[in-house]
Amino acid sequence: MDLWYTEKHTDHSGITLRIKKTLFSGKSPFQQLDIVETEDFGRMMLLDGLVMVTERDEFVYHDMITHPALFTHPAPKNVLVIGGGDGGSIREIVKHPGVEQAVLCEIDGLVIEKSIALLPTMACAIDGSDPRVTLHVDDGIAYIREHQNAFDVILIDSTDPIGPAVGLFEEEFYRLVNGALKEDGIMVAQSESPFYHAEIQRAMYRNLRAVFPIVEMYQAFIPTYPSGLWSFAFASKRYHPVDDFDRQRAASRPFATRYYNEDLHLGAFMLPTFARENISA
């Protein structure tokens, strides 16, 4: 059977990938979850029919949602991930030797369960093998409300602002995150495509600027995401991701990275003009 998956990024354009077989297909209380084997991109997880991660290009997303914050904060010990049930962000966080506690708070237990079963290269640190890691199957907003002044870094590894993630793009949520961070804490959130999602970005960055003194956007290239150009919001209470970046510490990291490096850290904040304009105040 010649099977193709096509994701429309708009009504009129998208990507198409040849599929070898479906490994899992089911419905949780929150969303439709599918895990398929592609010809080109390895295994791929879809939520409500949209690509979340593929084995071939997840290194970009997971390098870039984690390392810029963890190498800007001078000594991150307590790190929280909201969402990110595939485990890829936690895998990168625990590569930092100074991290003492990495908490995953994912609303959908089925995502965690099937990632551990079917996406082991991503879920390798949420399978119980690392004592620094704890998992909570819980609503991120509720969790954060109950854990104020607790974290050095909080990463919002969410889906798009539709469905269960919609509250994770609102000012009220960012106020809770601000409170859950210690006085010099950093939040990073995936912030959609500058090419396709200018309106979402405008609202999101306005909400962030109402809460955090330092708010910057940075970019990464993710082939299976709409347009290939993706972005992250860096929101911080004290440290600036460029001005306070210790290039030498990042350069002497004790692990390999296929996307992130100490130069790219700086370059990622140097945005195309149209992307900068999306979020100009």
Residue 15 binding its own copies, by CB under 8 A: yes
The answer to whether 241 touches 269, Cβ cutoff 8 Å, is yes
280 is an interface residue for its own copies by CB under 8 A:
no
Question: Which of 26, 74, 120, 272 touches its own copies by CB under 8 A?
Answer: 272
Contact residue for its own copies among 105, 186, 271, 279 (CB under 8 A): 271
Angle at 264 between CA 261 and CA 269, to 5 degrees: 140
Residue 10 contacts its own copies per CB under 8 A: yes
Q: Is 49 in the site for its own copies (CB under 8 A)?
A: no
Q: Is 145 in the site for its own copies (CB under 8 A)?
A: no
238: how many CB neighbours lie within 10 A of its CB? 16
Draw the binding track, 217-256, toward its own copies (x: CB under 8 A; -: no contact): --x-xxx---xxx--------------------------x
E-only strand ranges, 127-261: 133-137, 151-157, 181-190, 214-221, 229-236
**Tokens describing residue 1:** 């059977």
Q: How far is the CB of 253 from its own copies (least distance, A)?
A: 11
139 is catalytic: no
Token pair listed for 112: 């965690």
Q: Which is nearer to its own copies, 203 or 266 (CB)?
A: 266
Q: Is 261 in the site for its own copies (CB under 8 A)?
A: yes
15 Cβ contact partners less than 8 Å away, ≥ 6 residues apart: 6, 7, 9, 51, 224
Virtual CA dihedral for 146, 105, 93, 116, nearest 10 degrees? 160
Taking CB under 8 A as the binding criterion, the range among 94-102, 127-135, 199-207, 262-270 that sits at the site for its own copies is: 262-270
Buried b or exposed e, range 55-88, using 16+ CB within 10 angstroms: bebbbbbbbbbbbbbbbbbeebbbbbbbbbbbbb
Tokens 């959908």 locate to: 108
User: Which amino acid appears at position 202 of this protein?
Assistant: R
Residue 177: what are its φ and ψ, rounded to 5°?
-60, -45
Of 200 and 264, the one with the shorter C-beta distance to its own copies is 264
Q: 145 vs 247, which CB is nearer to its own copies?
A: 247
Catalytic hit among 63, 157, 246, 263 = 157
- Using the contact rule CB under 8 A, the part of the chain among 6-14, 29-37, 84-92, 197-205 near its own copies is 6-14
Q: Give the per-residue contact string, 26-45, with its own copies (x = CB under 8 A; - = no).
A: ------------xxxx----
Closer by beta carbon to its own copies, 24 or else 259: 259
Candidate segments 3-11, 66-74, 114-122, 163-171, binder of its own copies by CB under 8 A: 3-11
Looking up tokens 């082991």 gives: 120
Q: List phi, psi (to 5°) of 58.
A: -65, -20
Task: Please give the residue ranges that form the binding site for its own copies (CB under 8 A).
Answer: 6, 10-18, 38-41, 57, 60, 195, 219, 221-223, 227-229, 256-261, 263-264, 266-274, 276
Residues annotated catalytic, as ranges: 157
